[in-house]
Amino acid sequence: MKTLSAENLINAGRIIDPPFKLIANIAGAACELEFSKVLRLLPGKRLVGVARVDGNDMLAKVYVGRSAARYARRERQGVRLIADSGVRTPLLKWHAPLMDGKGEVLAFEFLPDAVSLFERWREAQQEEARIDVLTRAMVIIGKLHNQGVVQNDIHLANFLMSNGRLYTIDGGDIVRRSHPPLAERSSLRNVGMFFAQFFPRYDHLVEIVLPAYEAVRGWDMQPTRLEDLAREIETSRSRRKRLCIDKAFRDCTRFVCNKSLDRFVVCDRDAYTYEMEQVLADPDEFMVQGQTLKDSPTSTVAIVAVSGRSLVIKRYNMKNFWHRIKRAFRRSRAWKSWANACRMEVVGIPSVKPVALVEHRIGPLRGKAYFITEYVAGPDALASIRNLGHPNGELEALTSILQELADSQISHGDMKATNFVMAEQGPVILDLDAMKEHGSRASFRRAFQRDIKRFMQNWQDRPEIASRFEGLLGNLNY
């Protein structure tokens, strides 16, 4: 088994394959950690994995780089704050520097059967199960706040269920904000950050589970508190959306980003295979070999096979010289589609899954651009509903997506029925380049009413369908 140093970990980037050994220096004696699994990796900074020490499995957090000692110290302080709040957390067994002195190791109790509340939430099929997950989190958050303690990176993955017990992890983002207890305004801000990670469709659960938090805090119920919390959730959600979209245009855990004077390329890291690199280098060649779905002066769309899966490449064409000049100074339609696809993911509205973005450039000037997505099988909504004598659930499913767009104040800009694919799991939105998130309710209403008007034009020759849609759309709240 290979033995790595802190320098090896720093230079390895994102590719560190177990098994491997690290050697810690415990009071001058060498202690070998045999890693069998890497659970999380922040290149050049932190590694979390399962390591065997003297025949026992432990959860090891390894910090490397110039700030290793500072981050390790923050983790230890956070663990103490969790425990002092009366909240269960995996036991920190020992901490020590790496033998080469360029890193720190923290060895924690390992919980082999641990399941995060995020996994519980993802598996939950019934609302009762979701309420149970959120209620458990509310109780723990309330206990921390009673002691003036806040989890800055607050999400369900930082709560683990093991052997019927709930544990809180990730001490590195735990801080004491004030003398106990935490003030109500700061408390609601932190709770709002927690709920902002969930899709808006689950906001109705906040009112159901908030009393569990209030009971732990010893607060009387106040109607205005729910309104204050709703504002905090919206503020945090907007901030989270901006951060996620910003990250979609740079190199990060999820995306590979390559920039040069003549090209800008960003690709989902999981899809970034050798073959995908060839596609990104010359999308046109692969489009010629693929199946053409559309070829017009404004765009060309083709299905291509890449690394065993079907992808859709949409090329945004330049109609003429003046069109090319006009578009050179704007963000490309592919850029807008990429941003909107990421926005749809954050708010939980089903749309095409973004895989890659390619822009040809001359310095700051933009030229031909490509938006690459996963292929979604199924007929479009127009064909699907026209071919059904008596639609069963399809109209309601489409209306539900329109309500979700309204809840997020997002207009589509070209709401043709052909821009919805009736996939096996439900309708999926296509053609995202004209989509817009509005800052004001009035602006959104005007744009959304145009969307609805365009949508209803699809059913002019099917009055019975139009009548049913009018009934459903009349109940939309926007």
The CA distance from 23 to 103, in Å, is: 10
- DSSP code string of 346-395: HHT--BPPEEEEEEEEETTEEEEEEEEEE---S-BHHHHHHT-SS--SHH
Amino acid at 438: H
Q: Are 301 and 291 in contact (CB under 8 A)?
A: no
Which residue do the tokens 């799991």 mark?
425
Each residue of 102-160: pLDDT tens digit?
Answer: 999 999 999 999 999 999 999 999 999 999 999 999 999 999 999 999 999 999 999 99
Q: Are 314 and 334 in contact (CB under 8 A)?
A: yes
Going from the C-alpha of 335 to that of each of 72, 79, 228, 367, 449, the distances in angstroms are: 39, 42, 35, 11, 26
pLDDT of residue 365: 74
pLDDT of residue 358: 97
Which structure tokens are listed for 43? 């290149």
Angle, helix 204-217 to helix 223-247, in steps of 10 degrees: 110
What percentage of the chain exceeds 90 in pLDDT? Answer: 85
> Mean pLDDT across the chain, nearest whole number?
93
The CA distance from 73 to 241, in Å, is: 31
pLDDT of residue 53: 94
User: Among 443, 448, 466, 468, which residue's Cα sits nearest to residue 456?
Assistant: 466
Identify the three-state secondary structure at position 49. Answer: strand
Each residue of 331-355: pLDDT tens digit?
Answer: 899 999 999 999 999 999 999 999 9
Strand partners, 258: 265
pLDDT band at 462 (very low <50, low <70, confident <90, very high): confident
pLDDT of residue 1: 87
Which structure tokens are listed for 337? 């589609």
The CA distance from 354 to 346, in Å, is: 12
Report angle CA 104, 11, 55 to the nearest 5 degrees. Answer: 45
Please give the average per-residue pLDDT across 195-211, as a whole number. Answer: 96
Using CB atoms within 10 A of its CB, is residue 461 exposed (0-12), middle (13-18) or buried (19+)?
Answer: exposed
Q: Are 125 and 203 in contact (CB under 8 A)?
A: no
Q: The pTM is what?
A: 0.88
Going from the C-alpha of 94 to that of each of 24, 279, 391, the distances in angstroms are: 11, 49, 63
